[in-house]
Amino acid sequence: MGDQQSMFAILAAFYALECLMWLPRGSVVFSAWFQHFARRAPGEFLGNFRGAMVVRPIFPFGSVFQVMPMPIAISPTGIAFSPVTPVNPEEVIISNGEFLQWKDINNIRSRGKAVQINNIDRWKAPSPTIAVAMAAQLNTLLSAPEEARDDVIQQQMAESFDAKAIGQRADEAQSKGRTLAVLGTILFVFVNCALLPMAFSLAFTDVWIWIIGATLLQTTSITILFWRAHKQLYPHSGDERFTAGLTMLLFAPAAMRAKDLITAPALTGFHPLPTAAHLSPRTVKSYARFILRELKWAPSPQTSSEAASTIRWHKEELSLAIIRCCTGQGWDPVDLAKPPPPADPESRSYCPRCLSEFVTETGNCSPCGNVKLQPLVIDAPNQST
């Protein structure tokens, strides 16, 4: 393979890398090739306990939204550094047991993808823009008068379940990213479908200047459009805008994926359940069942009594919001909590968290944190006693 072929092969390889995105544990990605979004969780692919790689839609006209609830519990008293409930199957809650009262918090800010509290990195968001939004949300609580803080938390909770706002925000991001998707696709076809195959049969010696000029013209157009759209949607994310803009100006594979940087952080602050109801309605009911089971049965981490009290307070507020969300969809939360019909007539009990069935009458499900088994009624399989 000569230098000419190698260069285009390397560009194609870099584009393949651009299609990968790092997804922290505790976050959810909604991705679509065209219109129908699929909900995906960080799995095992190139992963560790912090997160894993997820493959984005291969072509630039696909869409991606990332949603990550803050991995902390919040109450009018303070912050417990523990997620309230898993948002993905087989997700393990990792908590350091720490608790900070609001009066002991001096500053909250973002640094790159990290959210810092009192100048200490507390967690990493999927992107710098998401970290900026998370820090802003916490700063609103920090600056609220002590006596009004519970109202502000409840207001933020209600806003995170606002179905209308989710729809408007998603539509706005999609709309602003549409032209970028078209230009990204044209650039993708130009480089990967035209120049790459031609590089193996033609010598570009006399036309390099035209190829470079045409590529720069496209990356410049994409960068200008990206800059405008990003500034309108994320006015406080100047650092990411500058870095990403410069990268896509000089590096065609990054420019092809410009739309992702417009849509991905757009639904920051919203809970995954109402987001799934808007983007992925075909599977949202089973997701609601999972969220309700986790809320009730996922074991709480070992923490101090102050942290446990904050986790409990946040969980109660979250439960109310989730039940309101289910009711708003026309579902009865009691029906959603019922176990499925027994898969085996020999089954006598089931785990209410993972729904595994057991032939014993009593016991615990150890993989779920020793959740007590519930009896199955064979004659009335849709009811738990």
Please check whether residue 153 is in contact with residue 75, taking contact to mean a CB–CB distance below 8 angstroms: yes
- Toward Zn ion, which CB reaches closer, 88 or 219? 88
* Beta carbon of residue 375, minimum distance to Zn ion (angstroms, whole number): 15
Least Å distance, CB 355 to Zn ion, is 7
Among 29, 279, 365, 376, indicate the residue that binds Zn ion (CB under 5 A).
365
Q: Which pair of structure tokens corresponds to residue 282?
A: 């075909």
For residue 227, the number of C-alpha atoms closer than 13 Å in the C-beta half-sphere is 14
Which residues lie below 8 Å from residue 315, measured CB to CB, with a gap of 6+? 73, 84, 85, 295
298 binds Zn ion (CB under 5 A): no
Residue whose CB is less far from Zn ion, 91 or 159: 91
Closest distance to Zn ion from the beta carbon of 89 (Å): 11
Q: Tell whether residue 374 is a contact of Zn ion (CB under 5 A).
A: no
Establish if 257 lies at the interface with Zn ion (CB under 5 A): no
Q: What's the number of CA atoms in the CB half-sphere (13 Å) around residue 270?
A: 30
User: Of 14-22, 99-107, 130-138, 357-365, which part binds Zn ion (CB under 5 A)?
Assistant: 357-365
Please state, in angstroms and rounded to a whole number, the distance separating the CA atoms of residues 234 and 130.
Answer: 10
| φ/ψ (deg, to 5) at 319 | -60, -45
CB 368, min distance to Zn ion, A: 3
Please, which residue, 180 or 368, has the CB nearer to Zn ion? 368
| Contact flag: residue 373 with Zn ion (CB under 5 A) | no
- Backbone dihedral region for residue 99 (phi beyond 0: left; psi -120 to 50: alpha; all else: beta): beta
**CA–CA separation, 107 and 284 (whole Å):** 37
Q: 30: which residues sit within 8 A by CB, 6+ positions away?
A: 37, 38, 39, 40, 64, 65, 66, 67, 275, 276, 279, 280
* Closest by Cα among 67, 99, 71, 75 to 86: 71
State both tokens at 286: 């089973």
Nearer to Zn ion, 73 or 368 (CB): 368
Tokens read off for 84: 């309230």
- Give the per-residue contact string, 322-351, with Zn ion (x = CB under 5 A; - = no): -----------------------------x
Q: How far is the CB of 364 from Zn ion (least distance, A)?
A: 9
Residue 353 interacting with Zn ion (CB under 5 A): yes
Between the CA of residue 158 and those of 152, 273, 320, what are the distances in Å? 10, 13, 10
Cβ neighbours of 135 (radius 10 Å):
23
Residue 352 CB, shortest distance to Zn ion, in Å, is 8
Q: At which residue do the structure tokens 């309108």 appear?
A: 232
Report the nearest approach of Zn ion to the CB of residue 282 (Å): 26
Q: How far is the CB of 291 from Zn ion (least distance, A)?
A: 16
Of 68, 135, 222, 368, the one binding Zn ion by CB under 5 A: 368
Residue placing its CB nearer to Zn ion in the complex, 323 or 365: 365
Q: Which is nearer to Zn ion, 256 or 373 (CB)?
A: 373
Query: For the chain, what is the total number of helices (H) and then of strands (E)?
Result: 13, 16
Which residue from 354, 372, 374, 384 is in contact with Zn ion, where contact means CB under 5 A?
354
The region of 37-45, 187-195, 294-302, 353-361 touching Zn ion under the rule CB under 5 A is 353-361
**Is residue 277 a contact residue for Zn ion (CB under 5 A)?**
no
Stretch that binds Zn ion, among 30-38, 71-79, 173-181, 354-362 (CB under 5 A): 354-362
Would you count residue 376 as binding Zn ion (CB under 5 A)?
A: no
Question: Is 222 a residue that touches Zn ion (CB under 5 A)?
Answer: no
Distance CA 210, CA 277 (A): 48
To the nearest 10°, the Cα dihedral for 229, 233, 237, 242? 0
Reduced to 3 states, what is the DSSP secondary structure of residue 377?
A: coil
> Which lies closer to Zn ion via its Cβ, residue 88 or residue 218?
88
Interface stretch with Zn ion, choices 80-88, 155-163, 248-256, 363-371 (CB under 5 A) = 363-371
Binding site for Zn ion (CB under 5 A): 351, 353-354, 365, 368
